[in-house]
Amino acid sequence: MEAIVSELQTLNIGKVKQNEPLLNHTTIKIGGPADLFVEPSSIDNLKKVMEVIEKNGVQWRAIGRGSNLLVSDKGIEGVVIKLGQGLDHLHINETEITVGGGYSLVSLATSISKKGMTGLEFASGIPGSVGGAVYMNAGAHGSDISKILAKAHILFTDGSMEWLTNEEMEFSYRTSILQKKRPGIVLEAIFNLEMGDRAAIVSQMQKNKDYRKETQPWNFPCAGSIFRNPLPNYAGKLIEDAGLKGFSIGGAKISEMHGNFIVNAGNATAKDVLSLIQHVKETIFNLYGVKMETEVEIIGR
C-alpha cells in the first residue's frame, strides 16, 4: 500500500490518507478505517486513481456523502474513493442539468427549485450525493431518480467510462444495474426537468422538508431507511406494530419517531446495528411471515 500512496501523492490527484476512520464519512457515524482513503479533485484525477488501482490489483469501492451506508467496525480493505469536492460541478442548459456525482442531492434540489424548475421536489430531504442517489434510485413522495434521469456517466471497475441511458440503468425500486450486474461509479448525471410555478415548487419543497423533520430522526446520526418496504406493506409500520420502536442493542436504537430508522444513540458499533437488524428480521418474520430486506448498504471486512 505504501507504494500506491507514494504514486498517488506524486500524481497530485487530491486527498490521500492511510487508515482514515470511516465514521468521519458516514451519516450514522460508524465505521472502522479504510486502508487507503482517496478524494480525487477531478474526474481526470479519478481516472488516474483507477489506473493505479488496476495496475496494483487492489480492492476498491466508492462512497459519496456516506448516507444509506453501514461500514464494518473493522473498516474496509483496499482503497475507498470518496466522490466529494472536485466532482461537485453543476451546469444548467435551460431545463437540462448536468451535475457531478459528488454534489449534495439536497443542495441540488434547493438550488434548482429557486430557478423555478420542477422534478426534484421529492429529493428535498434526502441526504447523500447525486452519485449515490442515481446508484440506488433514491426516491420519496411518490417519485424517484428514474423519473428524471436522462443518462449517467459511469466509471466501471476496468477503468472504462461510458454514458448509460435511463433504460440501460435498469432502474427498479431502490436499485439499478450498478448494484449487481455492472458495478461502477456515477461520475455525472444528466437530468431532464421542466419549468413550473416557482412559488408552488418552493412551497412543496418546504412541505417535504417539514414532513421529514416531523417524522424522521435527523437529530441523531442515522443512515436513513434501514429496510426496503416489503410492498404492499411498509417497513416502518410493521416494525411499529411489532412494538419495536425504542428497542436498542448497545448504542444502536430503533427510532421512536420512525420504525424504519436505526439511530446511533451513543457510541454504537456496526455490530450493534447488525444485531438490531437481525432482531427486527426475526421478529417481523415470526409475527407476520414477512421477509425484511435491508435497503442500507452493508460493507467492509
Give the residue numbers marked as catalytic: 174, 225, 295
Distance CA 285, CA 159 (A): 42
- From the list 71, 59, 82, the residue with the least C-alpha distance to 131 is 82
Residue 255 DSSP label: -
Residue 23 to residue 217: CA distance in whole angstroms: 19
Name 240's Cβ contacts closer than 8 Å, sequence gap at least 6: 259
Which residue is it, cell 482517496? 38
CA distance 89 to 86: 7
Q: Which amino acid is at 287?
A: L
* Sequence-ordered list of residues with C-beta below 8 angstroms from that of 147, at least 6 positions apart, any chain: 119
Strand partners, 263: 222, 253
Q: Which of 206, 193, 188, 189 is nearest to 115 (CA)?
A: 193
Helix (H) or strand (E) holding 203: helix 198-215
Whether 108 and 132 have beta carbons less than 8 Å apart is answered as: no
Phi-psi region at 21: left, alpha or beta (left = phi > 0; alpha = psi -120 to 50):
beta
| Grid cell listed for 246 | 425504542
C-alpha cell belonging to residue 207: 412541505
The values of phi and psi at residue 114, to 5°, are: -70, -20
